[in-house]
Structure 1
């Protein structure tokens, strides 16, 4: 990886920080810096040598705040984890960190949890292993937790090589201990010949799903799940809001799903989960 040295100099990194690279589509990566206190740093208003103007202001309301939890034998994960004090202090006002939270798991499942402002503990984690196919959280290396507006805490899990791990299941998968989720919204895309062209990088979501369009911002990301695979796709509204498109990632998705002309992709999401979809394919002629 070339060019990372500029991060060290621009942000005056001293060693011990953690860089998190998140693929953002179109060959781009978002880079987050986790400080030595295990909380995402406050980014200075730095103008890089190749930039002519200053960067946009970092907004916790729009981007949320992250912290990491390393899994150790001395502090195993059972039902709770303690957040860094700096994380709690920065979240209280702009992100309204309160007692009730919603955990978003790597397979798109959501469960309710609690936060204790006196002990900085997030609790209610005991059902997570079952929702991830009976995974043992203590067998992994690190958890990355991202708190966003709306009291959502997204949990990403990393192996010993610091690579994110994906798990079986989807937002609509069921487990014995919880009620089966109900489909709240859905949309369908029938594969047309032009959608299989080499340079078809986006497809329109049919207009009859306009009610779902309105749940997304002008430029939004949705995550789609099938089996043990997951795809992060960019949704973009046209300026006049008369058309909404899966703008980025269609080519990779159609290859992974082995789509053919006439196949119908059915995207479904449960209640309060308009950015996390389970997908299934009805083959042509069925």
Structure 2
């Protein structure tokens, strides 16, 4: 479901019974203030089973229109949580978490305007999600118990070592206790967010991937993402705990050429000078790039022999957002244990 480009702050909507009979949904004011200028009047919402909802975006009101058929087909009754991810294009990814706080098993349906068939949703294709609510406004904690429905889908594939990844790209060691049925090692959150920000923490989203990586996203009371400060190589918000994966730097460089400034240029070569780093990537690799509070997703194709690996998606968004010009040099750095997360210096 992912696409390349700007990685916008996530937001959620907790459905009420009244919402399920409406044709509209209001986007959070904070999201619209930052990203409404990137949204188009005609948008699509995409679900993991291939279901695509054509919607209209009213920029003046910050409202998506055309949702009633979706609510009815998925039999939403109220109490479900919709998670929205926007990557700077025409599509917004949507995930449904049930009243049990675990991502649902998606039904075999597509929108009535679609001619394609639905696809099977698996753990290996995008992971699985659950949410945990900080109802007691706890500022420090070390363990969380996932919902039973989530464990039924995922616990069979848990293996040590496990790793937490937060939204600024930093990684932390963690573990799952099969006896207590809890994720452990969450004490770093108070250091990463800062104790003054912890009371604003209303909800955590956990996304488990089959390689024993657990991504964590924090949300405030309006269910808008709380952005963790820093980037993979910064010292902001670092815990002094030895479980933090220390940043040993690898890097690659790109010099912006005149042809890279073209409106249809989305393929950038990575010099074979950096082949040792490129060999650490999968054949088709997604990397996240951080600068300040900005985050972008780039798609990489790793090539063999003497051919250069190439950036094949996301370049134009990165170029425009960083205000690049021909002659600029970009330095991408990452920790040696985190070759999918990079900070970028122009």
Shift of 1:148: 0.4
Tell me the SS of whatever aligns to 1:73: coil
1:155 pairs with one of 203, 209, 216: 216
- Counterpart of 1:73 (choices 114, 123, 136) is 136
Residue deviations 1:192-246 (CA, integer Å, cap 9, x gap): 1222234434423233334444444454422111222222223346899945433
Q: Which is bigger in relative contact order (C-alpha 8 A, separation at least 6)?
A: 2
Q: 1:223 and 2:288 equivalent?
A: yes
What's 1:277 paired with?
Answer: 342
Higher mean C-alpha deviation, range 272-281 or range 225-234: 225-234
Contact 1:171 1:270 survives alignment (8 Å): yes
What residue number does 2:115 align with? 52
1:100–1:219: structure 2 CA closer, same or farther, 3 Å change rule?
Answer: closer
Unaligned regions of 5+ residues in structure 2, if any? 1-63
Aligned-pair Cα RMSD in Å? 2.7
Which residue, out of 223, 248, 260, partners 1:183?
248
Secondary structure of 1:57's aligned partner: coil
Q: Distance in 2 between matches of 1:241 and 1:34?
A: 46
Q: Give the secondary-structure state (helix, strand or coil) at the position aligned to 2:199.
A: helix
- How big is the shift at 1:122? 1.2
The within-5 A match list for 1:192-211 is: 192-211=257-276
SS of corresponding position for 2:325: coil
The answer to whether 1:26 aligns with 2:85 is no
Task: Give SS of 2:124's match.
Answer: helix
Distance verdict in 2 for CA 1:72–1:232, change over 3 Å: same
- Find the counterpart in structure 2 of residue 6 from structure 1: 69
C-alpha distance in structure 1 between counterparts of 2:188 and 2:137, whole Å: 21
The correspondence for 1:247, drawn from 283, 294, 312, is 312
How many residues align? The count is 279
Shift in CA distance, 223/74, structure 1 to aligned 2, threshold 3 Å: closer
Aligned counterparts, 1:7-156, within 5 A: 7-73=70-136, 77-93=140-156, 96-98=157-159, 100-132=161-193, 136-156=197-217
Q: Deviations over 1:62-120 (max 9, x none)?
A: 21110011221266651122211111121023xx1246421101111111112122322
SS in 2 for 1:61: coil
User: For the structure 1 residues 247 and 141, does the alpha-carbon distance in structure 2 shift closer, same or farther, using more than 3 Å as the test?
Assistant: farther
Relative distance call for 1:153 and 1:129 in structure 2 (3 A) is same
In 1, the alpha carbon distance for the partners of 2:335 and 2:119 equals 34
Cα distance change of structure 1 residues 38 and 56 upon mapping to structure 2, 3 Å threshold: same
Distance 2:87 2:304 in 1: 22
Once residues 148 and 18 of structure 1 are traced to their aligned partners in structure 2, the CA distance between those partners, rounded to angstroms, is 20
> For residue 9 of structure 2, what is the aligned residue in structure 1?
none
